[in-house]
Structure 1
Amino acid sequence: MSANKNAPLVVSLPLGAPEPGVTLQRWLYEALREAILGGRLPGGSTLPSTRALAAHYSVARGTVQAAYQQLLSEGYLQSRTGSGTQVSEVLPDATLNSGYVRRRITPTAEMPAPLPDTPWIERLNAITPIFARRSITPGLRPFFPHRGDVGAFPVDLWRKLHLHQLRSSRLPALLDGDPAGLPALREAVASYLAIARGVQVSADCIVILGSVQQGLDLCLRLLVPPGEKVWMEDPGYPGARQLMEISGIARVDVPVDRDGLRVDDGIRLAPDARLAYVTPSRQAPLGGEMSPARRLALLDWATRRRAYVFEDDYDSEFRFIAKPIPALRSMPGASSSVILAGTFSKLLFPAIRLAYLVLPAQLVESFTRAVALTSRHANSLGQAVLADFISEGHFDRHVRRMRKLYASRAEAFADAAERHWRGLIRVPEIRAGLDIAVELELDDEAAAHGRIAAAGIDLLPLARYCAVPRAPGLVMGFAPYDEASIQAAAEALGQALRS
């Protein structure tokens, strides 16, 4: 039998203390045999040398040699020159004991501790997080939304910048960082926002986080007492809605139309709300922009009520028609009430897990202290690499390139819809983003989604985004898929619905 080149090396093997009256040799033999039969030492794993194991347990080397020899003679171990002592791939009969009486240990029956009866766990069990591992099909199948094309990311350049940060002169990047974020990255984000989003802000008002979701969580904790009201777009991003559901606040679902959040309805339903969650630059998931009149009305309400507005600016950089719309935070008088949130997970790649909040000055200290307490700080090394990526111009070039690529794929998606989905799905004009909400021209959204899933196609029903039911629809992504994949999946989807 050839040696297993991938066999694990056992560096430390906790065996427990010997029982009174049991010799060290018998204890060691039986402990190793139990570990082998119980699967703690899998077949092919390499044991420490007799000298190393003797030193580890402060026993004589002869004691270890005798225990090893006994296990070798019984077939539990095998020894090869140059390979050390390994656990046999094929074990002998478990009843073989060769003179030793194997200890029979009957474990005490353990009852699992009951799940704590806390409000958080109760509310958490009532939902299925939209991006929970079990709810996402492995791989990248059309037409799952909220994804960009990681295959187009300049990995070699990122690796070069990463290695540059790991030079010996830059090793402080491996230490704990500022809870508010790396100063160089906050400066880079401030410069970028001034150009791309029309937001003039000091780097001191920017806090770097792991995700926009983390930022919203902090806002709900710090700004909204339990039981107080928060406006939520309906339809709206499920991740935000679910976070509100488990946070203990009173969520108020405010309708959305082609002009964005209907502020008058929000004031009618909950004039005293503490916070409003909005996606004004590209409404999630419908895709429209909040009108200037609605923006002014929202800011007026927030100012009069001394409330805050959480502006989720999640993918506004990918706009295909005309120039990007300035952020709500850029409007006069918005700096004291609007919290702007942006993420690099959609602009670059999801695993980067870096985002930012632009905070009103009066909130910076409280939020920084909260980050220090709950997560210490975002990944310092990743922040340093991203700061270089932005300041050296790579970020701007990448976004411009991806905007052009996604525009061509949006066009291919619309063409495929016209070719294969006529009478089944109506696709509106795609003006921006990574995905689009489409109208399903069938009565049963759930049944249609089931047939589509059975055909091997991923997407999300519009109902997942809605608190109040509305016309049947689907939310479909196009950004990560090339034209051939879009056409093939569109044809399969059409056939599934027509069946």
Structure 2
Amino acid sequence: MKTRATAYPVWNAFLPAPDSPLPLREQLLRFLRKGVAEGSLAAGVRLPASRLLADELGVSRMTVTGVYEQLIGEGFLEARQGAGTYIAARIDAPVPADLPSAHAALRGSQRGRLLTGLDSMSLALPDWPLTPGLPALDAFPHAVWGKLEGRFWRNQAAAHSAYGDPQGLLSLGEALADYLGASRAIACRADNIIITPGAQAAVSIAALAIADHGQQAWVESPGYDATHRSLALAGLDSVGVPVDAQGLDVEAGRRLAPEARLALVSPSHQYPSGVTMSLERRLALLKWADQADAMILEDDYDSEFRYACAPTPALKALDANHGRVIYIGTLSKLLIPGLRLGFLVAPDAWIDVLQRVRNGSGYRVPKALQATAAEFISQGHLGRHIRRAKALYSERRDALLAALASEAHGLLTVSNASTGLHLLGHLADSCDDQALTHAARHRQIGAGALSRLYVGHHSRVQQGLLLGFGNTPAGSMRGAVQTLCRLIDAQPGQR
């Protein structure tokens, strides 16, 4: 390469790499773009003539001309008639003082900043043992589901290609209405049901339809953090209401947020404590909603899996004459999360506004998924799958309880182990459950931290571990529990 001229010292920074897989033309393009973006090539700098630069770099003039022309077209350079080629002045134009800087824009909205971090369902990989919130992925009836979905696509009706009813497929609504009547004692019709892409979307739709920006909502504390995020996205102010052995403390809610517009509860199987809301509290909650002209969102995510007795009726079953409860269900826990299939069951008076919000938000569910789910339920496959899954979960739960009994004596105290797909193990106050779960993830164990799920100020935040057993083979329980116990023992202040 020839000696470079000194008239354009900036080119001393350009060092072509002969061994680069990129041709010299691409290297030169990237150098110029980066120089303009970073400011080393300031606005108004005159570039060498194409002939001079080509001679300096030892390439054809056509190569340099092509680079200049491309960057002129992209807006990085500008050609001045009879005066040469320059860095485009508008690239480096100063920002007026009264406009926000790029860094300010990158901070995002206040609503977006409320969602910093991952929700509890995103902290571990699906195949890690003890991950809460996961059903048995290995038990999903893929063959049956695939056969039903294939039948939908083979029936190439023109209606299959249209958007479909914004409320959801009628056949799925009818199948769900029959299922809910038999399993959850909910008396409803297909036109009371709106299909959504998962339970979290259902919470978002309901929150947007019920409450205005800035209004308050009761949430269980501790409670499921993903649903709290849905309320934040809707612009609501979540007020954490304590949960005790009877469920959400309604009187505490009245004191903390007497003007709340809605309450989000999981009465059949509270997440994460596992308690079932007492009848006294259920009636008190319905009474509050009537008196406050408020609504209740009932999150019923996995109550079908009870191991000591039959499932309790849904709160919605007590609401026949009040119209205060919107029931939120999901097939994610019954089948697999990847389906992203949930639904709302609402009083007649709320269907229109819920449907409009659902339609305006774009929360639609693929028609093939809805049609397959409708056939799966109506042909009895869902009932059979739940019975098989319940037997499998009972075996896995027993294996986890046995491992805890033999390995975790004095380290973890388990309560409310009769329902759902996870256990809650309470730790001593001297433990740091978030440090424990961080260390566990480094060992590919997906236990969750209880303290992360509190909302607002509490005089005492309990330490504990959420131990999922739904997707953990029975043979993997003891080893995972042993590892957790070693991590607990290693905490400061432990034995």
Whole-angstrom CA distance in 2 between matches of 1:334 and 1:261: 22
Contact 2:216 2:238 in 1 (8 A): yes
Secondary structure of the structure 1 residue equivalent to 2:67: coil
Q: Equivalent residue for 2:476?
A: 485
Alpha-carbon distance between aligned partners in 2 of 1:277 and 1:205, rounded to the nearest angstrom: 19
* Equivalent pair of 2:25/2:63 in contact (CA under 8 Å): no
Is the Cα–Cα contact under 8 Å of residues 209 and 354 in structure 1 kept in the other structure? yes
Residue 486 of structure 2 corresponds to 495
| CA–CA separation in structure 2 for the residues paired with 1:359 and 1:494 | 45
- Partners of 1:195 and 1:181 lie apart in 2 by 21
Please state if 1:437 is matched with 2:424.
yes
Asked if residue 466 in structure 1 is aligned to residue 466 in structure 2, the reply is: no
Q: Decide whether the 8 Å contact of 2:197 with 2:363 is kept in 1.
A: no
Q: Aligned partner of 1:494: which letter?
A: C
Q: How many pairs does the alignment contain?
A: 413
CA deviation vs aligned residue, 1:419-446 (integer Å, no higher than 9, x gap)? 1111211122411111122101361323
What are structure 1's unaligned runs of at least 5 residues? 1-31, 40-94
Give the aligned partner of residue 208 of structure 2: 221
Matched, 1:362 2:349: yes
The 3-state SS of whatever aligns with 1:104 is helix
2:410 alignment counterpart? 423
Q: CA deviation at 1:96?
A: 8.2
TM-fit CA distance, 1:332: 4.7
After TM superposition, the structure 1 = structure 2 runs for residues 180-329 of structure 1, keeping only pairs within 5 Å, are: 180-329=167-316
Q: Compute the displacement of 1:496 (Å).
A: 2.5
Give the counterpart letter for 1:493 in structure 2: L
Name the structure 2 match of 1:7: none
Give the match's secondary structure for 1:489.
helix
Deviation per CA, 1:288-337: give whole Å up to 9, x if none.
10000000111111112221000000111111111000000001545511
- Give identity over the alignment, percent: 33
Deviation at 1:283, TM superposition (A): 0.5
Aligned equivalent of 2:67? 104
Cα deviation per residue 1:8-36 (whole Å; 9 max; x = unaligned)?
xxxxxxxxxxxxxxxxxxxxxxxx99679
* CA distance in 1 between partners of 2:103 and 2:311 (Å): 48
Query: Which residue is 1:8 aligned to?
Result: none
Match of 2:35 in 1: none
Unaligned runs of 5+ in 2: 1-22, 31-56, 77-90, 96-100, 491-495
Deviations 1:211-231 (A, max 9, x none): 221121122222112222211
Deviation at 1:452, TM superposition (A): 2.7
Structure 1 residue 139 displacement after superposition: 4.3
TM-score, normalised to structure 1, is: 0.77
| Distance in structure 2 (CA, Å) of the matches to 1:34 and 1:121 | 41
1:120/1:246 contact within 8 Å kept: no
The amino acid that maps onto 1:101 is T
What's the CA shift for 1:487?
Answer: 1.6
**CA deviation string 1:462-498 (max 9, x = no partner):** 0111123422111121110111111221122222222
Q: 3-state SS of the aligned residue for 1:427?
A: strand
Alignment-mate amino acid for residue 63 of structure 2 = V
Query: Which moved further from structure 2: 275-284 or 95-104?
Result: 95-104
- Does residue 128 (structure 1) correspond to residue 119 (structure 2)? The answer is no
| C-alpha distance in 2 between matches for 1:144 and 1:249 | 29
Residue equivalent to 1:452: 440
Alignment of 1:14-33 (within 5 A): none
Distance, in Å, in 2 between the alignment partners of 1:101 and 1:302 is 74
1:189: Cα distance to partner?
A: 0.3
Q: Do 1:235 and 1:255's aligned partners in 2 also have CA atoms closer than 8 Å?
A: yes
Relative CO higher for 1 or 2, CA cutoff 8 Å, sep ≥ 6?
2
TM-score, scaled relative to structure 2? 0.77
Tell me the distance in 1 between the aligned counterparts of 2:340 and 2:421.
18
Which deviations, in whole Å up to 9, do the C-alpha atoms of 1:33-67 show, x marking residues without a partner? 9679989xxxxxxxxxxxxxxxxxxxxxxxxxxxx
Distance 1:267 1:359, change over 3 A: same
Q: 1:409 aligns with which of 382, 396, 402?
A: 396
